[in-house]
Structure 1
Amino acid sequence: MDVSSSSKSSSSSSSSSSSSSDSSDDEVTSMLVDDEGSHLTSGMLLFALHTEKYLSRSEYRIPLVPGIKWVERKLSNRESCYKMFRMTPTLFYRLHEKLESYGLKSTNKCSSIEALGMFLWMVGAPQSVRQAEDRFERSLGTIHNNFMKVLKYVCKLAAEIICPRDSSFSDMHRRLQNPRFSPFFNNCIGAIDGTHVPVIVDKDLMVQHMCRKNITTQNVMACCDFDMRFTFVLVGWPGSVHDMRVFNEAMDKWSNKFPHPPSEKFYLVDSGYPNRPGYLAPFKGTKYHLPEYRDGPEPEGIPAYPPHFQTKIIVACMALHNFIRASGLVDRDFALCDRDENYVPPEASYSQPRTTPAPSREDAEVMNAFRESIAVGLYNRSL
């Protein structure tokens, strides 16, 4: 084949390829034609897009009261600080110092004090990102970034503070030395219960997160000690699942972190769990402290973040709870329980499960006999 024929073949092939792509280019070309039919170059289009994205921003807002000034003003007044941040100024600064040890730092855009105040204000009420944007007069991006930054370090605090003080449970708590409880509950090490925290989920997840109160929730299992501190928490389960299913995951998947009761020790559990060694459940069909249940506000939800972030927020709030409790400072809400050992929060009667999986016969017989002995002993004492 001579050069001429080869050139013609190549030209023909190129022409064919060009014609086949003409139709696919028509749409792009039409986007680059103005009303007068003139063509815009791709460079001009890219410049226009760059200008729209980076150069045509709204003017920087100058807040009348900068966020840091608002936070500092609240910190200067104990009552205002407690209302806005759910803790005293002294405790606020202790928490800030603790989070700094984990890596919380100020930036050119926002100080760490303002970021922490923003976070506590949002999770304490709760407040949305839009409300925070209006309150702190910051961009949505700045609000989001600072919230996530503080959340990261509070979750680090959770890993340290949500655990038993004594992993061997060797000492009997002073509350149990009260003649009202001793000797029947000398070996009790705490309580386990589930609670439902309202969450916001996508439509395709609504059914599995719908609890018996017809709201979307997460079923959260928690262990607590007699100092009202969380010692273990398992989050992330949708609200439709039974408490026992969450409990089983704690026993299996998280067995290395779950604070198991030593031999002869036991937790108090509610009717959603079986009565078996290590876990003392109430008699079926019996309500306890019924006169003490009272009407009150239900636990509120959390900001509308993706589910995995909402899970982290739940853990963070429990860590803040423990931090407040462990501070040794007077807290008006904890004081209600400290002054009255019979006090039962209104939330205690919510979302109790209807049925409980039965334990093995041998396990049930052992713990049923123990439960019966406690009931008889308490009854005889009351005579």
Structure 2
Amino acid sequence: MVISSSGDGSLFISMIDDFKGVGSSIKALFGRPYKVEFVAQRRRKYRRRERSYNVTGRIPAQINHLQRIIEIGDVQCVLNLRMNRNAFARLCYLLENVSGIVDLRYVRIQENVAMFLYILAHHKKNRVVGHDYLQSGKTVSSHVHEILRSILKLHPILLGCLGALDGTYISVQVTNKDKAKYRSRKGTTTINVLGVCNRDMQFIYALTGWEGSVADARILRDDVNRQDGLKISRGCYYLCDNGYPNVEGFLTPYRRTRYHMDQWIGGSLEPQNYKEFFNSKHSHARNVIERAFGLLKRRWSILRSPSFYPLKV
């Protein structure tokens, strides 16, 4: 604002302003009349403020920051993302090939996943993460929500799961001499039948003939060593309970942790940690073999009670 004096003692104020009513404000401020001359242009053309940076100029710094975390060693990766480089690469692979996450123009999948894990590991806000990864808060927020939705898509499924397997007891009639070896842990004379079904409750394999006193793990070990036994493709597996070994091709739940479905009934019995969460998902998925055995025995009454026919029959 410029204040100038004229010959007759009046003050002329020349100022550039877009708002109306400035004259009354100045009059109230100084206590005596003034003439206010507005020389502001009514048709002022606003120009966009030029950016002090560009998007492509930040890419080398973003790449260097990500490399320091995931490409130097496992120590930095675990400290920042709470997982080693192998686990991080597997997670990125699943999100890309299963959930459909793709690289964007300026943000790669690895950077999206790193920002998401960094928030979970250190409980940081979007603006703090954006400062560390040279991204805006809006960019961080949108990509974190996208990664979260993609990870939730992986929960209902167990990748590579072919189905489930378990053993069931079928009551039989044997001679008194053989009752000892056919007596199961439930006290009845039975045979232990290994059954395998897919995720649609369709039986695809069965092995019978073993005595009721034989453990499930021994039956499975004998089966996989047979030439015509159960074959499992590499990278796939079947769900089974803790009566079987947790080896390649067979996935068992965590031991000494709640597992069976009746233990998850009620809101107060929700999973309390990652082991219980995994066992809950495992139990619901493996229940397919229990339902398949139940339907089979309900349809064929001869499987529910001791047969009148010899064991060889």
| TM-score (normalised: structure 2) | 0.41
Q: Higher helix proportion, which one?
A: 1
Q: Higher strand proportion, which one?
A: 2
Greater relative contact order (CA < 8 Å, ≥ 6 in sequence): 1
| TM-score (normalised: structure 1) | 0.35
